[in-house]
Amino acid sequence: MDSRLKIKAYVTSYSEEVTGSCNHVKVVWPDGRELSFVIDCGLFQEKEHLERNAEKFVFTPSNIAFAIATHVHTDHVGRFPYLVKKGFMGRIYTTEETKQLLPCILSETSDRLQEEYDVALKKYKAEKKAVRKAKLDSKGRGKRDKQRREYTKDKPKTETHMPVLIFERKDIDVCLDRVNTVAPFETFSPAEGLEITFYPNAHIGGAVLVHVRAFDESEELNFLFTGDLGMTNPVTGGVTIIPDEVCKKIDFVVSEATYGASDGPRDDEAERQRHIKILENVRKKRGTVMYMSNSLERPQKVCADLVSMQKENVFEGIKDFKIYFDSTFGIKCHSKYVKLYGTDYVPENFRIIDKTDRELVAAEQGPKMIICTSPRLYQGSFVTYGAKMLANKNVTLIFVAYIPENVRNIVNLPRGTEIEYMGEKVKLMCKMYNFGYYSSHIPPEDLDKFLARFENAKALLFNHGTVEAKSNYVRRYKTDVNSTHNLLFGRTVMLTSDGIKKYY
Ligand SMILES: [Zn+2]
């Protein structure tokens, strides 16, 4: 068929990092009709992210017909209120579970952005003041206008930009009003010549795979967007399901490339055994374990794991641990989770605490566990315990979320190193570990199997994950998996049912 008579789709992924997921899709039908939509609109959470998040969208928000949210992690939904503020007028399609969880995650995102904005604004103002002072010092007060004009030509400039707060709490409701819910396996048509079906994805509660079918009377083009991918979920009991007949129809898969261990198998059971050994030691010493987590589902995963440890009675005394859950947003997510999925994941000796209990809990003899939602050390409930806990050799910090570079550097420091923590000098005496087995992402060998099911796909496009993780995965997939799939990780790809036409 003449390629001018074919349906074309331009798929652009804006994030080349782990966070800030956003896919822009433009479909052009042979009769000239065009339609653009986005799948996810997430927050950047890597370095200098205040500035990155305030960047303009590369597309015009008012030209976007509709949007889809694959799941409720902030790196997939955190910029939706900003998209709406910038002129997006369409609906946001997602599942009922995601809709229920969205208010928790967006208000947390908004509070974190506000905190960072306040710090950045203070820094900006201080720098501006310093520059103004330098200007007065060099020229003196009351100089004539001419001299002033001359001076402005090469006046010292502030290096920091005026920070921008991309949205506030009040913008969240406007965004939530745009949400339409669709159940998995139900096909909906947001525009003529376009059908979309969600399939359950076990990554986190409410997550879906997104099947997009663009068609006219003579042909069709089928995509699958995986979003982040997980295969089973111990908290929600969910499993990833996509029927074989759908897999066979898919022309292009836009997939995540897995976070961590992208170049080899992950030994989850060995990690869990190591974790259990650590807990056994802490119990003997009547110490404290602090779980450092994000607020959504990771704490619930820790709880589900503790339930199984209690049931298996992994060592004598595992049930001696008191388990405290301390986090404003974590608790909000927790109560939604209990409503949606029941209490099977809640361990014995579990108690929710807040700031009024912290001093007592911190001083209490162990063995105890405190689950905090502070994956970055500098935010959330850990901050109030922070300095004391870092300096205590009877404290063990267990990181169960993706940890950014600055925290990773601290985790790897030798014990006894002096660091600055929230303006205080602290000698690092606690023990620190990071367990990848709590990851809600698919291990690489399972991703191989998942992708192999799309036997007729002309290409697999990896759009999410660090460039390193993507290239490691692609390298390994090419050598280990006997597959004829075309593997890509570019920014924009022009696709037709014949295959890739352009690649930028
Ligand atoms: Zn995710």
Domains in the chain with CATH codes: 3-109+165-263+443-503 (3.60.15.10), 268-438 (3.40.50.10890)
Q: What is the Å distance from ligand 1's center to 71 Cα? A: 7
CA of 293 to the centre of ligand 1 (A): 14
CA dist 245 and 212 (Å) reads 15
What spacing in Å lies between the alpha carbon of 7 and ligand 1's midpoint? 31
The answer to whether 372 and 382 have CB atoms below 8 angstroms apart is yes
Q: What is the arithmetic mean of pLDDT over 338-362?
A: 93
The pLDDT of residue 429 is 95
Instruction: Quote the ligand 1 centre to 19 CA distance (angstroms).
Output: 9
Concatenate the DSSP letters of all residues of 186-241 into one string.
-EEEEETTEEEEEEE-TTSTT-EEEEEEEE-SS-EEEEEE--S--SB-TTT--B--
Sheet holding 322-326, edge to edge: 350-353, 322-326, 368-372, 288-292, 395-399, 431-434
Confidence band of 316 (pLDDT split at 50, 70, 90): very high
Q: What is the mean pLDDT of residues 242-252?
A: 96
Phi, psi for residue 225 in degrees, rounded to 5: -105, 120
**287 C-alpha to center of ligand 1: Å?**
32
Distance 308 CA to ligand 1 centre (A): 24
Give 260's pLDDT tier (boundaries 50, 70, 90).
Answer: very low
Between the CA of 203 and the centroid of ligand 1 the distance, in Å, is: 7
Residue 411 banded pLDDT, cuts 50, 70, 90: confident
CA of 470 to the centre of ligand 1 (A): 16
- Residues contacting residue 45 through CB under 8 Å, at least 6 positions apart: 18, 19, 20, 74, 75, 404
- Taking the centre of ligand 1 as the mean of its atom positions, its distance from the CA of residue 228, in whole angstroms, is 5
How does residue 261 score in pLDDT terms, banded at 50, 70 and 90? very low
pLDDT band at residue 182 under the 50/70/90 scheme: very high
Residue 285 C-alpha to ligand 1 middle, in angstroms? 36
Kindly give the distance from the C-alpha atom of residue 143 to the centroid of ligand 1, in angstroms, as a whole number.
Answer: 58
State the pLDDT confidence band at 377, using cuts at 50, 70 and 90: confident
User: What is the Cα gyration radius of the chain?
Assistant: 25
Separation of 247 CA from ligand 1 center, angstroms?
A: 22
Considering the chain, what percentage of its residues have pLDDT values greater than 70?
90
CA 15–ligand 1 middle distance (angstroms): 14
Highest mean pLDDT among 38-52, 169-183, 424-438: 169-183
Q: Please tell me the distance from the alpha carbon of residue 397 to that of residue 71, in angstroms, as a whole number.
A: 28
Instruction: Please say if the pLDDT value at position 150 is more than 70.
Output: no
Task: Band the pLDDT of 86: cuts 50, 70, 90.
Answer: very high
* Rounded Cα–Cα distance for residues 224 and 315 (Å): 44
Rounded distance from Cα 220 to ligand 1 centre (Å): 29
Give me the pLDDT at residue 492, please.
Answer: 80
Residue 266 and residue 443: Cα distance in Å, rounded?
6
Which of 138-147, 186-195, 212-221 is predicted with the least confidence, judged by mean pLDDT?
Answer: 138-147
Among candidates 230, 236, 231, which has minimal Cα distance to 338?
236
> What mean pLDDT value characterizes the chain?
87
Cα of 207 to ligand 1 centre, how many Å? 8
- Beta-ladder partners of 433: 398
47: alpha, beta or left, given left = phi > 0 and alpha = psi -120 to 50?
Answer: beta
Between 311 and 434, residue with greater pLDDT: 311
Instruction: Tell me the HSE value of 319 on the side-chain side, using a 13 A CA sphere.
Output: 7
Contact of 330 with 295, CB cutoff 8 Å: yes
For range 475-488, the mean pLDDT: 75
CA of 230 to the centre of ligand 1 (A): 9
Confidence grade of residue 499 (pLDDT, cut at 50, 70, 90):
confident
pLDDT at 20 over 90: no
The CA-atom distances, in angstroms, between 372 and each of 188, 401, 429 are 40, 11, 19
Contact by Cβ (8 Å): 81, 111: no
- pLDDT, residue 222, reads 96
Ligand 1 centroid to Cα of residue 111, in Å, is 20
pLDDT at 493 over 90: no
239 or 139, which is more confident: 239
Question: Residue 473 pLDDT more than 50?
Answer: yes
Has residue 336 got a pLDDT over 90? yes
221 near 7, Cβ under 8 Å?
Answer: yes
C-alpha 426 – ligand 1 centre gap (Å): 33
Q: Is the separation of the CB atoms in 71 and 203 below 8 Å? A: yes
